[in-house]
Amino acid sequence: MDSIEKKISELLKKMTLDQKVGQITQPERQFVTPQEVKEYHIGSVLSGGGSVPGDNTPADWIKMNDEYWAASMEADDNHLAIPLIYGVDAIHGNTNVKGAVVFPHNIGLGAAHDPDLIERIAAVTAREIAATGVEWTFAPTVAVARNSHWGRTYESYSEDPRIVSEYAPRFVKGLQGDFGEEKVVACVKHFVGDGATTHGIDQGDMNISDEELRRIHIPPYRAAVKAGVLTVMVSLSSWNMEKCHGHKYLITDILKKELGFDGFVISDWDGIDYLADSYEESAVMSLNAGMDMFMITGRWKEFIEYIKKNVKSGRIPMERLDDAVKRILRVKFKFGLFDKPRPAERKLSLQNSIFGSLEHREVAREAVRKSLVMLKNDDDILPLNKNARILVAGKNAHNRGHQCGGFTVAWQGVNDNDPEISGSYTETDTESASPRKNLNISETNSLILGGTSIWEGINRVVPNTDLSIDGSAADPDKHDVAIVVIGETPYAEMLGDIRVGGLAKGLNISKGSTSEDTLPGEDIPIMKKGPYGTHLYLHELHPEDIATIKSITSKGIPVVTIMICGRPLVVNQELEQSKAFVVAWFPGSEGQGVADVIFGDYPIQGKLSFSWPRYDDENWNLGDKDYNPLFPYGFGLEYK
């Protein structure tokens, strides 16, 4: 037995039932105090998207994690010192935290097709996480998104498992590396087939064969496990109507036995809630299926009672509970958590000037440059001449919040540069029915600190460009060309879906908000709001965009369109009206990268990692029969 396995066995032998069950429980920070961490022997705490301490500075995060950690390390007759592990959604940078560098969402990184860059992005992300005293991120998402109606398409690198499988191990390596002071624990998610649900419904059902599951959705996990990923998160979706959270074949037989995964498996946000009619049954079913750690909001004390009761009665074999605890301890030992100083005294906590540093921003800016995909360039209008007289227009031209997309400061993203209508997390009453992702209006917490909007980036290269969001200032006597930045506004899971009808029944929507909470800048409560739209047509989702473009072209000024989006959209009308058309995805905080490319200082090199639709009713993926998208997988024009 190697030394880590020996340490695990010795520690396990000392643990009581209470201590074991606490170790597998992960409450959300709004629902648990440091005192309770000790009292219930809690193994982990998390922050949901937008759930942040204090004023949301790195120092606030260090202080919070330090308190939880200290509680977990107090040793006395009743309590063993086992360091807590804190988890966050650092999915495109450590973006819950104000001032973090925000990288392009995964869909843009897929277009960049640069595995070395992926590893560097992950390494920077790890440093920005470590600089907040945190040890674990629920990233990378290795979904292979097969239907662009899915609101999480932007979290996917590609519809093609090859890119995802190539990136997954590199991202894991960049995060975990040597488990040293600048590294964090990675978590591949959401196991498995989250990108395969029918109609792209978030948390829906994937109706596919075992063969297709293995060919398309399992390979990225195989690659990540081989690269030593320490944790895996299970999907809230179902496979042929059976929820993944209770799926023994998927979790135990495939992931643990077949792929040989020896780290721990974590449930997603309140993911066991809907497995069975009773919560007790759900908890038993999931643990017995192979789940090791449980991410829970309000019901974690109930969960602990049910698990203890059912271990005592024998419905949950003690070996299963022991296996779960051993896996968690294995990760903590492998990562060296027992030897690390308290969060406030770790190397990067003490050097948090690296947080949001210029060096980190340069990596994000490079990623922006490499992710841009050019779909049209009539008369070689791009790259633009720096002497041209330029008008910049469009609702996404000067809005860092919009260009960052979801999972940035707030769960569903923010509308920045306009404090009036910015939304972000504020502390909530933990007694209320509102778990994390509360979206109250708050100016101070909403800002994307640092970085540049796309207009700011352009203006730095060509000073004195005119900014006119609705394009009304367009004047052929004053402007040779207009750059119009259009597209989607931020969204995240569930609310980002595009489909007819409201949020599907049975969806895990309780996690989002109460019936009163609203999205940034909107009056309609989230729960009444439903999905992002009904069809993939941009002119229906955002009629203001084509209106802005036409108001400019009607004056005879040529338009270069830059589109912010989290998925391929049907943009035939906008394409037709534009001389050039560039897809920028959700580029993140470093809008300067767009100017780097459109003025020709750098080449344009991104290639589609998703097939591009002509109509809404088609959903081509590379390799499909009669494949005939508007722009095929791999398309992307270059400068001559």
Which parts of 46-75 interact with ligand BGC (CB under 6 A)?
48-49
Out of 160, 205, 268, 456, name the contact with ligand BGC by CB under 6 A.
Answer: 268
Pick the closer one to ligand BGC by CB: 331 or 483. Answer: 331
Pick the closer one to ligand BGC by CB: 493 or 545. Answer: 493
Residues 6+ apart with CB under 8 A from 555: 474, 475, 476
Pick the closer one to ligand BGC by CB: 41 or 511. Answer: 511
CB of 452 vs ligand BGC, minimal distance in Å: 28
Cα 15 from Cα 23, distance rounded (Å): 10
633 binds ligand BGC (CB under 6 A): no
What does the block give as tokens for 35? 């005192």
Residue 481 host element (H or E): strand 481-487
- Decide the pairing of beta strands 580-583 and 373-377: antiparallel
Closest listed residue to residue 368, CA positions, set 405, 423, 416, 410: 405
592 CB-side CA count, 13 A: 14
Pick the closer one to ligand BGC by CB: 269 or 355. Answer: 269
Cα 531 from Cα 495, distance rounded (Å): 5
Cis peptide before 140 (omega within 30 of 0): yes
Residue 441 contacts residue 344 (beta carbons within 8 Å): no
Residue 294 host element (H or E): strand 294-296
Out of 66, 89, 182, 497, name the contact with ligand BGC by CB under 6 A.
Answer: 89
Out of 67, 128, 292, 493, name the contact with ligand BGC by CB under 6 A.
Answer: 493
Catalytic annotation on 493?
yes
- Which CB contacts under 8 angstroms, 24+ apart, belong to 422-429? 422/446, 422/447, 422/520, 422/521, 423/518, 423/519, 423/520, 423/521, 424/50, 424/520, 425/50, 425/51, 425/52, 425/56, 427/30, 428/30
Which position among 128, 268, 292, 545 bears the catalytic label? 268
* Contact flags string 126-155 toward ligand BGC, x per CB under 6 A: ------------x-----------------
CB of 274 vs ligand BGC, minimal distance in Å: 13
**Judging by beta carbons within 10 Å of its beta carbon (0-12, 13-18, 19+), is residue 575 exposed, middle or buried?**
middle
Catalytic annotation on 574?
no
Size of the site for ligand BGC (CB under 6 A): 10
What does the block give as tokens for 294? 């449980």
* Contact flags string 212-251 toward ligand BGC, x per CB under 6 A: ------------------------x---------------
CB of 509 vs ligand BGC, minimal distance in Å: 10
Pick the closer one to ligand BGC by CB: 335 or 425. Answer: 425
CB of 447 vs ligand BGC, minimal distance in Å: 21
CB of 428 vs ligand BGC, minimal distance in Å: 15
Pick the closer one to ligand BGC by CB: 399 or 438. Answer: 438
Residue 500 contacts residue 534 (beta carbons within 8 Å): yes
Q: Read out DSSP for 243-258?
A: EGGG-HIIIIIIIIII
Residue 194 contacts residue 494 (beta carbons within 8 Å): no
CB of 2 vs ligand BGC, minimal distance in Å: 31
Which position among 182, 205, 493, 497 bears the catalytic label? 493
CB of 303 vs ligand BGC, minimal distance in Å: 17
Pick the closer one to ligand BGC by CB: 127 or 189. Answer: 189
Residues engaged in binding ligand BGC (CB under 6 A): 48-49, 89, 138, 189, 236, 268-269, 493, 511
Catalytic residues, which ones?
268, 493
